[in-house]
Structure 1
Amino acid sequence: MRRKYRALNDAVYDHMTAVSMPPDELLSELIAETDELTKDWAGMQISPAQGSFMYLLTRLIGARTALELGTFTGYSSICIARALPPDGKLICCDDSPEWTCVAERYWCRAGLSDRIELRQGEALPIVRAMPKQEQFDLAFLDADKSSNWLYYEEVLPRLRPGGLILIDNALSGVDSQDSERSQRARELNERISADQRTDSVLLPISDGLTFALKR
């Protein structure tokens, strides 16, 4: 099969970011503060281009209710919540008060505190405690990678038909054939690809973003 793709270098990436709804002043401040506060952990924050893409996706599917597993300092949650209607709701699950206190401060500054509900703790038991009914239009999975399949299985019955699951870091480590992380990522991608309950595609956005649309 003929391959068609564009390899990214810094110049291409910078151009792409500049013309793809670049971060506004508030998001730029959040990027800078995250870099300063979290140091080596700053790479956990999604890229600006991914945030813009997720904003558009949220609007495109007309989402009113959303779920985020893994919030960190709040960049992705701001992008999602901004795309919800004024009476929309985003539930964020994260077990790190150190980082979510930053997120809460920026939610307030963005005027989004009334749209976002933080549930502090491990994501899996929080989701399992939710009613098993179709209540979400969109879910973003960006928490503990080793639990992604469990998250997927718990979120799917709580997603409406036509709802969308986004899974971050889907290509992380897949170019290494030997590592445990590579094997875990490949197995997850293959299981989702084979799942007859969803239509899915994995795209090389940032370090890989899986889209799974519930049938």
Structure 2
Amino acid sequence: MNRYTHGMFTPRIAALIDELDELAKTRTDALQVPRAEGELLHQIALTSRCKLIVEVGTSYGFSGLFWGAALRRTGGRLHTIDISLMKRDSAQKTFARADISDLVVCHLGDARSVLATIDGPIDLAFLDADKESTRAYLDLSWPKLAVGGSVITDNAVSHRSELADFVRHVRSMPDATSVEVAVGNGIEWTVKVR
């Protein structure tokens, strides 16, 4: 854990962040946000005082550690969704080791089906799965999003061409404001304004 994040996380969570950060260097299927992006997500969740975060794309639980650390302070919960049984099970073990299992509901299945079952109001939706379905995930999340809530879409810079139509769409929504933040893979941060 770098000196700038000292005190942001419990020793357990800090150790697991380090562990999963190393895992990403050795596995091609460890699709996760870079550490700096995770730290930004943590800060966004804290300052937004999130009570309900919905994440599409659990992977091995790296971003979930950042969400969990923030939610421990805000008294909120995370619903995280992945289609891979192996990744869902691995993430559940990670969350148990981090002592945040009580804050996290790990869903297995197609995010379109699972999102339909999650009640709002959602304070923050994090979209980090198959890029071709990002618009569908937005359409399912947006009606449940609280006014002032955020949809954060990962890979806005690293997958710019795949997300170009999506970005044009969110920037044209009359009830939203949206901006790219070039940290990590780059995020498109969309806020519901009414």
Question: Structure 1-normalised TM-score?
Answer: 0.80
For residues 30-68 of structure 1, what are the alpha-carbon distances to aligned partners after superposition, in whole Å with 9 as ceiling and x for unaligned?
2223444xx2223x2111101111000000011011100
1:97 to 80, 85, 88: 85
Identity %: 26
In structure 2, do the counterparts of structure 1 residues 20 and 169 end up closer, same or farther at CA, with 3 Å as the change threshold?
farther
**Contact 1:30/1:106 (8 A) holds in 2:** no
Distance 2:89 2:131 in 1: 22
Aligned counterparts of 1:121 and 1:80: Cα–Cα separation in 2: 21
Task: Determine the structure 2 residue equivalent to 1:13.
Answer: none
Which position in structure 2 is the counterpart of 1:8?
A: none
Greater C-alpha radius of gyration? 1
Corresponding residue for residue 31 of structure 1:
21
Query: Which ranges of structure 1 fall in alignment gaps of 5 or more residues?
Result: 1-16, 175-181
Of residues 122, 135, 158, the one that matches 1:172 is: 158
Q: Distance in 1 between matches of 2:159 and 2:60?
A: 24
SS in 1 for 2:5: coil
Alignment check: 8 A CA contact 1:69 1:93 kept: yes
Using the alignment, how far apart are the partners of 1:104 and 1:54 within structure 2? 20
2:189 aligns to what? 211
After TM superposition, give the deviation of residue 76 of structure 1 in Å: 0.5
Is the contact made by 2:33 and 2:185 (CA closer than 8 Å) also made in structure 1?
Answer: no
Q: Distance in 2 between matches of 1:143 and 1:116?
A: 18
**Counterpart Cα distance in 1 of 2:107 and 2:20:** 21
RMSD of Structure 2 on Structure 1 (CA): 1.9
Q: Which runs of 5+ in 2 are unaligned?
A: 7-12
Report the AA paired with residue 95 of structure 1.
I
- CA contact 1:136–1:158 (8 Å) conserved in 2: yes
SS in 2 for 1:114: helix
Bigger relative contact order, structure 1 or 2, given CA contacts below 8 A and separation 6+?
2
Q: Which amino acid aligns with 2:64?
A: S
Task: State the partner residue of 1:190.
Answer: 168
Q: 1:214, 1:143 → 2: CA distance? A: 21
Residue 18 of structure 1: CA displacement?
4.1
**3-state SS of the aligned residue for 2:40?**
helix
For residues 159 and 76 of structure 2, what CA distance do their matches in structure 1 show?
A: 35
The one-letter code sitting in structure 2 at the alignment partner of 1:123 is A
Contact 1:64/1:85 (8 A) holds in 2: no
The residue type equivalent to 1:41 in the other structure is: D
**Paired residue for 2:36, among 21, 26, 49?**
49
- Number of paired residues? 186
Deviates more, 1:46-55 or 1:198-207: 198-207
Residue 21 of structure 1 aligns with which residue? 5
